[in-house]
Amino acid sequence: MEKSGYESCDDVRKADLIIINTCSIREKAAQKVYSQLGRLKQLKRKNHRLILGVGGCLAQQWGSQFIERVPFLDLVFGTHNIHLLPELVAKVEKSRAPVVRIEFQESVKSLNIPVPNNNGRVSAYITIMQGCNNFCSYCVVPYVRGREESRPFRDIVDEARSLAYSGIKDITLLGQNVNSYGLGNGGGHDFADLLQEIEHISGIERIRFTTSHPKDLSDKLIRCFSRTGKLCEHIHLPVQAGSDRILTMMNRCYTINDYCEKVDTLRAVCPEISITSDIIVGFPGETDRDFQATIDMMKKIRFDNIFSFNYSERKRTDAAKLGDTVNASVKRERLQTVQSLQEEHTLEKHKALVGNMEEILVEGPSKNSRDDMTGRTRTNKIVNFRGDYELIGKVVHVRITCAYLHSLRGELTGEEVT
Ligand code: SAH
Ligand code: SF4
């Protein structure tokens, strides 16, 4: 949008263009969009030039119905049309009539968007593929983001190089299932090859990726954790549930035994690896016994952290045919149990780091104190410590002194790594 003369502003009341990026994965996120749009309606009344748009997968799903439901909206664009944003905004400016564009494109052109200014950031994301072919029974992603398609290998490497040139040190490669990168159209390169190639880009110091589907996590990729020096020791490996019966109903294509074996291999190859996960509670038909299997699995694996969700029924998915059978209060209780158990595990993992020397990539000032800097360990844990602004973007050695649930505290050792 900068090329069209727009610049970012930090006060929504002064904006002439507001785009809300939406998510349809769970009902709660969808509801938030409507309340947010309700609040923005008053700004439209005050500023007649204001263009209000929605993108993302709720926009994809709703299309022109969005305009019917929210008549003051100017623009609705889908998941494959992001690259057309300047064109679509120009169309609204000219016609002052609502514009809707949600067609699926056949190629991943929509992901080739020029790299923005880094604005002092040290980390950035690169989308390496779009869509998903897995059709987990609860999930709407394959319907709203289309079939899985990988971006060309060279485009991704070039983007990583531009980011490195602009000062980015830490890159996270993004896809719904990065393990299947390259199947079909990566030009003969798989995900492990991509990691190796980015490893050679000078300036990039840390490489991360998300998300990895356990069924496709290959030994070749696991071995990268011991071989690829810049690949950080962290994997997000969503398990979803601990009961094989529920995993089958979810169409996840692995058993808990398979999952535990992958975790064992990861820990054997890289003992310090941090493993995080996603868990859904209250999938249709989940019994107390099924739920207990999730708790047992958590106690066995002891994740570093998890994202946990109440099952949310999504139209068009296979699971929607089963009905939303687990009572809301039971779901709430189960979620609470999962979250309390995870808090114990997270704190235990954090406490085990006290006394350790960690490499921290310094991101900027901490939220709570202007005298403190904040950064992350290679295992993706947040560490705050006393430090100066000139450390931003550098990797420093910090000794961990205190462990909390959401972060760690440490002391600079005076030894700079880069
Ligand atoms: N592609 C990733 C996840 C994408 S969605 C993967 O397969 O791991 C992110 C998370 O949202 C999922 O891992 C799942 O835990 C959760 N999720 C997806 N659909 C959901 C639903 N209908 N209800 C509750 N949680 C859901
Ligand atoms: Fe959804 Fe499953 Fe695809 Fe992840 S792998 S996006 S959970 S369908």
Ligand 1 atom closest to residue 25's alpha carbon, by position in its atom list:
19
Among 309, 318, 325, say which to mutate for ligand 1: greatest number of ligand atoms within 8 Å of CB. 309
- Whether 314 lines ligand 2, by a CB cut-off of 6 Å, is no
Rounded to the nearest 10°, the torsion over CA 301, 306, 311, 314 is -120
Cα–Cα dist 378/234, whole Å: 7
In angstroms, the Cα distances linking 382 to 66, 158, 303 are 39, 29, 16
- Whether 280 lines ligand 2, by a CB cut-off of 6 Å, is no
**pLDDT given at position 112:** 75
Give the residue, by CA position, lying nearest to ligand 1 atom 19: 139
Contacts of 35 (CB under 8 A, 6+ apart): none
Rounded to the nearest 10°, the torsion over CA 23, 32, 74, 119 is -70
**pLDDT given at position 243:** 98
- Whether 176 lines ligand 2, by a CB cut-off of 6 Å, is yes
pLDDT in tens, 226-263: 877 999 999 999 999 999 999 999 999 999 999 999 99
Q: Which residues of 57-93 are buried (b: 16+ CB within 10 A; e: fewer)?
A: bbbbbbbeebbeebeebbbbbbbbbbbbbeebbebbe
Ligand nearest to the CA of 316: 1
**pLDDT given at position 110:** 66
Closest CA to 176 of 207, 137, 206, 149: 149
CB atoms < 10 A from the CB of 309, how many? 19
CA 270 – ligand 2 centroid, Å: 26
CB atoms < 10 A from the CB of 138, how many? 24
**Residues 174 and 186 sit within 8 Å (Cβ to Cβ):** no
Q: Give the pairing type, strands 234-236 and 99-101.
A: unpaired
**pLDDT given at position 46:** 92
CA 134 – ligand 2 centroid, Å: 6
Contacts of 293 (CB under 8 A, 6+ apart): 241, 242, 243, 244, 246, 256
- Whether 50 lines ligand 2, by a CB cut-off of 6 Å, is no
**pLDDT given at position 415:** 66
**pLDDT given at position 184:** 66
Cα–Cα dist 17/32, whole Å: 20
Describe the chain by its helix, strand, coil percentages, rounded to 5.
Answer: 40, 20, 40
Cα–Cα dist 69/58, whole Å: 13
- Whether 130 lines ligand 2, by a CB cut-off of 6 Å, is no
Give the residue, by CA position, lying nearest to ligand 2 atom 4: 176
**pLDDT given at position 228:** 74
User: pTM (2 decimals)?
Assistant: 0.94
Tokens 């119905």 sit on residue: 65
Give the residue, by CA position, lying nearest to ligand 2 atom 1: 139
Strand extents, DSSP E, 304-391: 305-310, 357-365, 372-376, 382-386
The residues of the chain scoring below 50 in pLDDT are none
Closest CA to 369 of 386, 381, 382: 386
* Cis geometry, peptide bond prior to residue 374 (ω within 30 degrees of 0): no
